[in-house]
Amino acid sequence: MPMTKSAEGPPGAVDLKMDLKSPPQSAEKLQNKDSGFLDGSPSESPGLETTKGITAFQTLVHLVKGNIGTGILGLPLAVKNAGILMGPLSLLAMGLISCHCMHILVRCAQHFCHRLNKPFMDYGDTVMHGLEASPSSWLRNHAHWGRHIVSFFLIVTQLGFCCVYIVFLADNLKQVVEAVNGTTSNCHDNMTVILMPTMDSRLYMLTFLPFLVLLALVRNLRILTIFSLLANISMLVSLIIIIQYITQGIPDPSQLPLVANWKTYALFFGTAIFSFESIGVVLPLENKMKDARRFPVILSLGMSIITALYISIGTLGYLRFRNDIKASITLNLPNCWLYQSVKLLYIIGILCTYSLQFYVPAEIIIPFAISKVSQRWALPLDLSIRLVMACLTCILAILVPRLDLVLSLVGSVSSSALALIIPPLLEIVTYYSEGMSLLTIIKDALISILGFVGFVMGTYQALDELIQSEHFLTFPNSTTFT
């Protein structure tokens, strides 16, 4: 079944097209990074101009919206892990490199579209055709593995998003419930509130599980559009309230370290690249534009806006809360109903977004699974797989419950591969036989090495912190620090 999926999500966008043993059928676009849709499938009818329908402004809005998710809430802690000087500079560098890698992916996709006379090519197809164009016979013979590798990292990324969401939901709801007795309507007096002990946050995760299962069983994209709209509205309102609060009363930053320890910098890398993970959405957006020639300019403008927003929130959040900054900036907000409502709004937004992020790995795995059974067992198998996958994300969230480390781990493992490692290597295998300058090869090699080093160090440090966290946290499943 030809499928083209693009989902919006903390971190990243995904784009997938893979052929299985079912007849062709139309597929719709699901845009990553915490919701948003692109209607129609550009690959279903090569000659239809109706698939090229969005303006440059609409493309910009989709691109910016596709990057704003849970990852942005963890950037203040990420800046702390890097240093007040090194953090913003690293976010700027990472934004520039991520934008450059997106341009590489678009350029390679356009190259193969022109060569193969195709109207659209997704991430997996582009990597597969890039390997087919490689001068290495071994890579050409194993080109289909390129698509499988991309699909694997997409599944890991999306299920990682789902785990992050569950931890986020539990942590924020737990804090709201614990502080409910001390929550007032007065937001000016920042009084210390004695938290009311409640149940373990892992029990909160289990409390959410029935709702997550129901959301995972939704199989209709039209229904998911409602959840997308709710998520966008709630997150937009929440971010506006957060920004107006952190810009008030920033203390003197002179005592903050300019550069942090290299070990914590590895955690910064994972969280930051998790936030910039939207490389999959660029191809469907480029294909949907009325005038695709303007897309590179729109992409650069959109990524400039996103990078500036990330640097602002990350830096101001760290300046405002300093060493008290928590894994999600929402956990630092005062105990008055205005700011508690921010947590509740984000809980609604993330809960709605879970089904959107879950849809992508489900649509990769389920069609392949049901192609192996008779039609009579297709629906029961479909629902069973969705149930098992939803329970799996909850179990993983319970086993790895620290939000900051989950963000860093998912970013280091899968986001670095999709955003930094694969695109430069794709450019080399695509254009090497046609002639490339030595400077371009060195540049691509350095970006891939940077991504790989971040992958190894970020993954190691996140796992090491997770192993040690049980020894120095009062509550091993909490994102707050003693």
* DSSP classification of residue 288: H
The predicted-structure confidence for 367-389, as pLDDT tens digits, reads as follows 889 988 888 899 999 999 999 99
Burial of residue 255 (number of CB atoms within 10 Å: 0-12, 13-18, 19+): exposed
Question: How many degrees, rounded to 5, is the angle at CA 321 between CA 316 and CA 323?
Answer: 115
Average pLDDT of span 409-431? 89
Range of the domain at 403: 5-472
The predicted-structure confidence for 148-165, as pLDDT tens digits, reads as follows 999 898 888 888 888 988
Positive or negative, the Cα torsion across 266, 271, 276, 281?
Answer: positive
Q: Is residue 482 part of a domain?
A: no
- Measured CA to CA, the distance from residue 208 to residue 171 in angstroms comes to 12
Q: Which pairs with CB-CB distance under 8 Å and at least 24 residues apart come from 471-476?
A: 473/402, 475/200, 475/201, 476/401
Residues in CB range of 395: below 8 A, 6 or more apart = none
What is the tally of structural domains in the chain? 1
- Strand 37-38 to strand 29-30: parallel, antiparallel, or no bridges (unpaired)? antiparallel
Question: How many degrees, rounded to 5, is the angle at CA 426 between CA 55 and CA 460?
Answer: 105
CATH number of 180's domain: 1.20.1740.10
Is residue 58's pLDDT more than 90?
A: no
Residues in CB range of 63: below 8 A, 6 or more apart = 278, 281, 282, 285, 298, 299, 302, 303, 306
Residues in CB range of 316: below 8 A, 6 or more apart = 76, 243, 246, 247, 250
- Measured CA to CA, the distance from residue 114 to residue 122 in angstroms comes to 14
In terms of Cα–Cα distance, which of 427, 480, 396, 359 is closest to 163?
Answer: 396
Residues in CB range of 87: below 8 A, 6 or more apart = 78, 79, 80, 81, 260, 268, 314, 315, 318
| Half-sphere exposure of residue 259: CA atoms within 13 angstroms, side-chain side | 3
Angle between helices 86-116 and 422-431 (to 10 degrees): 40
Residues in CB range of 94: below 8 A, 6 or more apart = 272, 273, 276
Residue 17 near residue 122 (C-beta atoms within 8 A): yes
Residues in CB range of 356: below 8 A, 6 or more apart = 7, 8, 9, 30, 34, 35, 224, 227, 228, 231
pLDDT on residue 38: 39
The predicted-structure confidence for 234-260, as pLDDT tens digits, reads as follows 888 888 889 988 988 888 888 888 998
Residues in CB range of 141: below 8 A, 6 or more apart = none
Q: Quick one: tokens of 45?
A: 């009818």
Q: Is residue 278 part of a domain?
A: yes
Average pLDDT of span 200-206? 88
Q: Quick one: tokens of 370?
A: 């049901």
* DSSP classification of residue 432: G
- Measured CA to CA, the distance from residue 333 to residue 242 in angstroms comes to 8
Is residue 18's pLDDT more than 50?
A: no
Q: Is residue 478 part of a domain?
A: no
The least confident of 267-271, 386-390, 393-397, 476-480 is 476-480
pLDDT on residue 13: 39
Average pLDDT of span 207-211? 92
196 confidence band (pLDDT: 50, 70, 90):
low
Residue with the larger pLDDT of the pair 457 and 472? 457
Q: Quick one: tokens of 451?
A: 């991504």
In terms of Cα–Cα distance, which of 153, 193, 162 is closest to 177?
Answer: 193
E strand spans, 21-83: 29-30, 37-38
Give the number of other Cβ atoms within 10 Å of residue 117's Cβ.
8
Is residue 47's pLDDT more than 50?
A: no
pLDDT on residue 102: 93
478 confidence band (pLDDT: 50, 70, 90):
very low
Is residue 449's pLDDT more than 70?
A: yes
Q: Is residue 241 part of a domain?
A: yes
Chain-centroid distance of CA 25 in Å reads 27
Instruction: Supply the pTM of this predicted model.
Output: 0.76
Residue entry with tokens 């409390």 = 207
Is residue 192's pLDDT more than 60?
A: no
Q: Where are the alpha helices (DSSP H) in 144-291?
A: 144-178, 201-216, 221-246, 262-275, 282-288
Is residue 475's pLDDT more than 50?
A: no
Mean pLDDT, the chain, integer: 79
